[in-house]
Chains A and B, each alone.
Chain A
């Protein structure tokens, strides 16, 4: 799975820290997701979507191997 968290974050002018605080996770988690090293839980994906005010499908994308 891939995502455009970094892009969405840039649009809202949020740092990794800001986003981490808003969804109450560590900065490592945001960083790992942006590096595609961690696939978030559904709960976390929905929280991220809520911050960006977009449906999850516009933030997270399945890849061929998924």
Chain B
């Protein structure tokens, strides 16, 4: 079967080695709000706004495209997490075949459902700044839920295989 939208298998291992430290760093960053001083940089932005959320961003006006001063700690960790997560989620398995492709699709469907049900609950029950935190996590949860679900089902089918020769 031709899986055009999947990366070669070797990216899976690379993905894990990126994803695990990025997850730990991400949890630390979101809980402590830490920003590394040395990661203050001048960056290109698609849109800058004087009402910017980041207090340490120096902005003189607002409009499309511009160079701004910003702390890129969160940017860096987020980008690394997404790259690692995409590699883990969408690399071919050792032996990619139609059954694995089927598992992959059903896990993707499952994770979209679970993600939006959780978000729906959060919409109804969480307000204010706490909801902002939920939104930050929600940017990554589809990927996380998918990775957990897909690998769990794959593990389960490998395990049942070991029991049954």
Contacts and interface: CB of A to CB of B under 8 A. Distances in A.
Interface in A1-60: 15-16, 24-29, 31-35, 37-38, 40-41, 43-44
B103 to A, nearest CB: 9
A31 B157 contact: yes
Given A15-B165, A16-B165, A25 B98 contact: yes
Contacts of B96: 26
Interface in B70-90: none
Contacts of B154: 28
B84 to A, nearest CB: 25
A28 B94 CA distance: 12
B161 A27 contact: yes
Contacts of B97: 24-26, 29
A61 B96 CA distance: 26
B100 interface: yes
- By size class, the interface of chain B is 10 to 19
B160 interface: yes
A40 B98 contact: yes
A25 B95 CA distance: 7
Contacts of A15: 165
Contact of B99 (A16, A24, A32, A43): A32
A28 B100 contact: yes
B98 A31 contact: no
B100 A26 contact: yes
Which 9 pairs between the two chains have the least Cβ-Cβ distance? A29-B99, A26-B95, A25-B97, A31-B161, A28-B157, A38-B99, A26-B97, A41-B98, A29-B97
Interface of B: 93-100, 102, 154, 157-158, 160-161, 164-165
Interface of A: 15-16, 24-29, 31-35, 37-38, 40-41, 43-44
